[in-house]
Every structure is written in structure tokens, then in C-alpha cells.
Structure 1
Amino acid sequence: MKISKMMILFLCSALGSCTLAGLDAQESWDFTPHVADAHTFKSTWQFMNDRNKPGQDSVFNFMLQAIAYAGIDSSEYTKQGRTYFLLHRDAVLRIDKKKVTIDCYWGKYLVPDRDSTGKIIPGKFRAAKSWDEYPKQFVKNTLLYLMADGEHTFGNIGPENDTIYALLPPGVDSLNPKSMMTLRLTNDRASTIKINDFLNSVTVTNVRTAGILNTNGPAHVVDRVVSYGVKP
């Protein structure tokens, strides 16, 4: 009588062990699911600095440079009950095919080009090479828009847009006089947090790493520009 491979596999399963073509059947084992702990047990300020190791890990190097240049006190990143949007280095400077992309800050917000003597060349602009090519207030406003009161993360962000208000004072940005930002969670397996994803939004930003639970509030890392604007 011929016995099919399917029958052998069935018998192996029933008997608990068997060998087929020289290979032992896999034994059963108990699987214990494990969910990574999103808590860092450190403040947002410490978290950024711990990820700023030149030559090793400098994810937040450009953001820390911006904070220092704008004169924002580091205590703003230790205050309780806030949500922080942190700039990955790619959000500040990203190069593709030897060109600075227009979806990073230094590529989107161009600065006047200058000749060899330092004089501005009329009508000519280029990507920035450092934060100090911008007015300090511009950089400060950029950073203030990336902080909001209240803790906004996976536990309270749903598939419908939730409107929050940044620490940028109202009226500073003429395109966003209320200093608004919208957050929503994609209704799929990726569960991506999307920033300013509304009808006719000029810029929609996908959060790169979301739900980092620092001791003073959640943080979300972005690797593209975050801005608010409505298409005409």
C-alpha cells in the first residue's frame, strides 16, 4: 500500500514526532507575545541628547542646533503634559541625487545666494547650509509649532482628524493664524500618524516613529517638513 506524504505528515502530527526525508518534524512550543515598551524613562530633552552622538548616533543633531540658535530654553523640553514633534536629521537636510530635496527644511525654505564677496545675488536663492542663515525668530517659530500642550498619542488619536494647537503664539503665522495642527491615525495595519492631512492641505507629513513615551509627554519623530497651509 502506498502512503502519501500528506498521510505521513498527518501521522507525524498525531504521534508528536517523525522523520520525513531525513528532517525531523517541528516540535510544538508555547509562544509568548511581547510588545516593546515605548517608555524611555527620560525627559524629551535627555532623549534627544542621548541620540546625539557624533560619529555614532546623531539623529537629533540638527534639531539641537536649532534649539541653541533660536535661544529656546532646554526646560521647554522637560515640561510636563506636552506633545513633542522631533526633527530627524532628514527633516532638516535630505539629499537625493546630490541635490537637497524640497521636503526638508533647508530645501523648502531657500535663502538668498551670495557671491564670493558675501553680497546677495538679486533673484537667486539656494538651499540653506545651516540654521544661522535664517532669522532667529523664524527658527524659533518653527520649533514652537512643533510643541503642543496636552498628550496626544495612540491612546487618544483616532482615524478622524483631531485638531490641536501649537505653542506658536496665535497670529504669528499668517497662513495659520490659530497655530493649528491636525492629527489622525491611518485605519490600517501600519497605524501611521498623519499630520495636517485634511482636504486641500498643502503639506501632509507622515510620522516616522510615533508614540515615544518620555517622562514629560509623548514624542513623535518626523523626517519631513511639518507645516500648515490650505491650497487656494
Structure 2
Amino acid sequence: MKHSKININRVATLLFTALLLSACSLFDLNLQKDYNRVPHPVDANLHITAWDYLRSRSVENNPDTVFKFMYDGIIYSGIDTNEYKEAGRTFILLHNDAIDRIVKKVVQPDCFFGANLVKGKPATKWSDYPKEMIRNYFEYLLLQGEFTHLKNLTTSDTLIQTLASQGAFINNPQSLMAMKIVDASLSNTVDYPIQINDSVTVRTSDLLPTNGVIQVVDRYINPGF
């Protein structure tokens, strides 16, 4: 009887799999096979520059202010905002959680304020840091060239030159960033994500402003990876 039960379970599993595959065919849902996937039909073109997009989701009377902390940091650092209007670049934009992520009233170590402690404690504002430090970091998030799922990236790390000055980071003297496509997916509905410095997964990928590419992250990217 025990042997028969196992066989029944196997048959049930096979039938379920067959039905699932049939359903995919019926509703024209193709199983994901590799990271070179066909882009979704949603238009990724923003029709504005990276700077205008960042501002539009930061300060311009918009309840959607997911980049406000980044915008405030840019202004504090004194970096030339025209850098976000230059063409042919990849712009890493920081969701608010990448800067100050709080869970149960505790600043998490995977955000900028939690990873870069001030006198042993998380920072509470950008002015807790020297302006040069913040400017170096934002320059690190500006990449020379356009990098997306369909352009210049593979499943192996690509080392990319950033705008940060060489020597700005002790453990990364050339100020390089590593990017790759992770050739794995939790389900057929999830795109194969872009990973930065072997640790941070891009939250929203391949947005297309008029002057390059935007990748959005919600965790701290360590430039000294």
C-alpha cells in the first residue's frame, strides 16, 4: 500500500505539471529560459533627462518622493547637477531605503546611514558627513557608458569606470563598479536581476531617460567591495 501511495503521488505531480504547461500555452505564457529575455511591452522611455526624473520624484509637489533623500544629498555635496544631464551614462539612483532604512525604529546596516557610522552610531542627516565624502559617493554612482540587460552586461562581472576620482576609496583605488545579470529567477514572472558589486540587486532596471540609462537600488552599494 505504501508503494502504491508513492506511485499515486508521482502520477499526480506529473499531471499537475502537464496541466501547468498546458495553461502556459493556453494563455500564451512562455516559460523563461535564460537571462536574454524579451523585454516587457511596458514603455521604459521616460522622455526626460535623468536629472528631471530624479527631481520629479523628489521635490516637485509630488507625493511620490522616493528619491528625496538622494536629492538632498546631491544638493548638500555640491556635485554639479549637470552631470545628471550628460548623455551616454548609466545613472544609479538611490531609493530612500538605500539611504535611511528603518525597521522597528532601528536604522538598518544595509543603508548608507547605517553602514557609515558616525562616532559609532548611524547618521541622521547628510551634514553628519564631510561634503567631499558624499560627493565622492555620488560620483561613484555615475557610470561611463550604458549598461542594461540588453546592452554591455552578461552573467559575468563587468568592471565599469565610474566618475569618482581614482584613489577616492582605499579598497577600490580605481573607483570601479562591478555589474552582472544574475542567471536565476525565483519564478517565471521575475526578470533576471542586475547585481552590483556582488551584493546589491537592482530594484527597478533599465529605465530610459533621454540621456542614458537609470538603475534604481534600495540598498547601500559599498564602493570598497
Q: TM-score, normalised by structure 1?
A: 0.75
Q: Distance in 1 between matches of 2:62 and 2:211?
A: 28
Tell me which residue corresponds to 2:160: 164
Tell me which residue corresponds to 2:192: 191
Q: Distance in 2 between matches of 1:225 and 1:160?
A: 21
Shift of 1:29: 10
SS in 2 for 1:111: coil
Q: Distance in 2 between matches of 1:29 and 1:163?
A: 40
Q: Distance in 1 between matches of 2:27 and 2:111?
A: 48
Shift of 1:196: 1.0
Structure of higher CA gyration radius: 1
Tell me which residue corresponds to 1:218: 213
Shift of 1:85: 0.3
- Cα distance change on mapping 1:34 and 1:160 into 2, 3 Å: closer
Tell me which residue corresponds to 1:201: none
For residues 79-123 of structure 1, give each alpha carbon's deviation from its aligned partner in whole angstroms, at most 9, with x where no partner exists.
0011110010000000112100000001111112xxxxxxxxxxx
Q: Are residues 1:180 and 2:180 paired?
A: no
Larger RCO, structure (CA 8 Å, separation 6 or more) = 2
Where is the helix percentage greater, Structure 1 or Structure 2? Answer: 2
Please show how residues 17-56 of structure 1 align to structure 2 within 5 Å. 35-53=41-59, 56=63
Q: RMSD of aligned C-alpha atoms?
A: 2.1
User: AA paired with 2:56?
Assistant: D
| Selected match of 1:98 from 80, 105, 110 | 105
Q: Distance in 2 between matches of 1:55 and 1:84?
A: 21
- Cα distance change on mapping 1:34 and 1:103 into 2, 3 Å: closer
Tell me which residue corresponds to 1:145: 140
Q: TM-score, normalised by structure 2?
A: 0.77
SS in 2 for 1:57: coil
Shift of 1:59: 0.5
User: AA paired with 2:50?
Assistant: T
Tell me which residue corresponds to 2:76: 69
Q: Distance in 2 between matches of 1:194 and 1:221?
A: 11
Q: Are residues 1:155 and 2:150 paired?
A: yes
- Cα distance change on mapping 1:155 and 1:128 into 2, 3 Å: same
Kindly tell me the number of residue pairs found equivalent between the two proteins: 184
SS in 2 for 1:163: strand
Consecutive unaligned residues in structure 2, runs of 5 or more: 1-25, 30-38, 186-190
User: AA paired with 1:38?
Assistant: A
Consecutive unaligned residues in structure 1, runs of 5 or more: 1-27, 113-124, 198-203
SS in 2 for 1:45: helix
